């Protein structure tokens, strides 16, 4: 007869596979690496098979481990969903809502709306993760996020969406820059000067590279950085100019030394939207958060 399988140990095993490392999984799940290793050993003992092979290069799944990882993901999602649904049965708005959002929405719009929501619904916990727009959509589709906020995309039929905010792209530069005297700039004007790119591989990066390719197939940005605040420091140091969402420019380039000019192109009029997996009925805490975030 098979021994009892602990759902928490199963969750930890799934985390180890996802992270490819016991230490990284332990950090992610806020547990000591030694305790996590013990949990995995107990799970292997309960199943009577080895699930992982440890080596200096990391971990490898056995055939049994691959099967447990696949089924374990589904079981963990079902258990989390069960907990959220049960928490909503007493008529109160409580429980956990998983919110996944892109960088610009987290910088410019979400903090204040989340604070207001938390004041109205103090019993609701919100687990926030930052991801690129495409990853936000994927997380909603895979039911890894209850609510997603990101740049408007052609979303699959399985998702519902609602307006969140307008966040147009603008050009940020120092006041003394030659383009500073213009009221509106074309992308071609900005490309005549060293450009600072943000978040290589992200939605904004892909958009700008696509537009740059239409104008100059061999264009290469001057500097590539990981965040908008770093981009503003590069601008401040005189290394170039940057195209970024208005929300980010307001947060990081509000000092008088910076000039901010709108882009003339229609594609610069970015819209942020709320996304959620189509469900009926939807957990009340999730629905209330969606209502609170709508524009």
Full residue range of the structural domain in which residue 232 is found: 169-267
Report the half-sphere exposure of 76 (CA within 13 A, side-chain side): 18
The CATH number given to whatever domain includes residue 128 is: 3.40.190.10
For residue 267, name the pLDDT band (cuts at 50, 70, 90). Answer: very high
Distances (CA, A) of 86 to 7, 93, 120, 141, 182: 17, 11, 21, 22, 58
Q: What is the mean pLDDT of residues 50-59?
A: 81
SS (H, E, C) 249-268: HHHHCCCCCEEEEEECCHHH
The residue among 31, 61, 86 that closes a domain is 86
Predicted pLDDT at 174: 95
Q: What is the pLDDT of residues 128-151, one digit of tens each?
A: 999 999 999 999 998 889 999 999
- Residue 236 and residue 101 share a domain: no
124 near 93, Cβ under 8 Å? yes
Report the percentage of the chain scoring pLDDT > 70: 95
The total domain count for the chain is 3
- Residue 188 and residue 59 share a domain: no
- Residue 229 and residue 113 share a domain: no
For residue 163, name the pLDDT band (cuts at 50, 70, 90). Answer: very high
For residue 221, name the pLDDT band (cuts at 50, 70, 90). Answer: confident
Q: Please check the confidence at residue 116 and state whether its pLDDT lies above 90.
A: yes
For residue 1, name the pLDDT band (cuts at 50, 70, 90). Answer: very low
Q: What is the pLDDT of residues 88-109, one digit of tens each?
A: 555 678 888 999 999 999 998 9
Q: Angle of helix 33-47 relative to helix 22-29, nearest 10 degrees?
A: 110
Instruction: Report CA dihedral (130, 131, 132, 133) to the nearest 10 degrees.
Output: -90
Predicted pLDDT at 286: 93
């Amino acid at each position: 007869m098979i021994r009892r399988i602990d759902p928490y140990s199963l969750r930890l095993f799934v985390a180890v596979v996802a992270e490819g490392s016991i230490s990284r999984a332990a950090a992610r799940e806020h547990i000591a690496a030694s305790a996590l290793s013990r949990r995995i050993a107990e799970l292997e003992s309960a199943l009577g098979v080895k699930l992982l092979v440890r080596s200096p290069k990391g971990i490898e799944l056995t055939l049994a481990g691959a099967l447990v990882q696949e089924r374990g993901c589904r079981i963990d999602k079902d258990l989390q969903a069960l907990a959220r649904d049960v928490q909503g049965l007493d008529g109160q708005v409580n429980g956990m809502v998983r919110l996944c959002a892109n960088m610009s929405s987290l910088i410019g719009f979400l903090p204040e709306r989340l604070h207001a929501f938390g004041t109205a619904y103090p019993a609701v916990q919100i687990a926030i993760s930052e991801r690129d727009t495409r990853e936000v959509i994927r997380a909603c589709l895979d039911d890894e996020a209850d609510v997603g906020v990101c740049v408007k995309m052609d979303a699959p039929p399985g998702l519902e969406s609602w307006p969140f905010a307008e966040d147009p792209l603008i050009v940020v530069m120092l006041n003394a820059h030659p383009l500073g005297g213009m009221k509106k700039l074309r992308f071609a004007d900005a490309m005549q000067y060293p450009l600072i790119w943000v978040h290589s591989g992200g939605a904004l990066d892909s958009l700008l590279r696509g537009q740059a390719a239409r104008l100059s197939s061999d264009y290469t940005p001057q500097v590539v950085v990981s965040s908008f605040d770093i981009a503003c420091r590069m601008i401040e140091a005189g290394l170039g100019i940057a195209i970024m969402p208005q929300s980010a420019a307001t947060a990081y380039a509000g000092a008088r030394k910076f000039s901010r000019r709108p882009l003339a192109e229609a594609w610069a009029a970015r819209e942020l939207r709320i996304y959620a997996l189509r469900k009926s009925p939807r957990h009340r805490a999730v629905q209330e958060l969606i209502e609170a975030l709508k524009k």
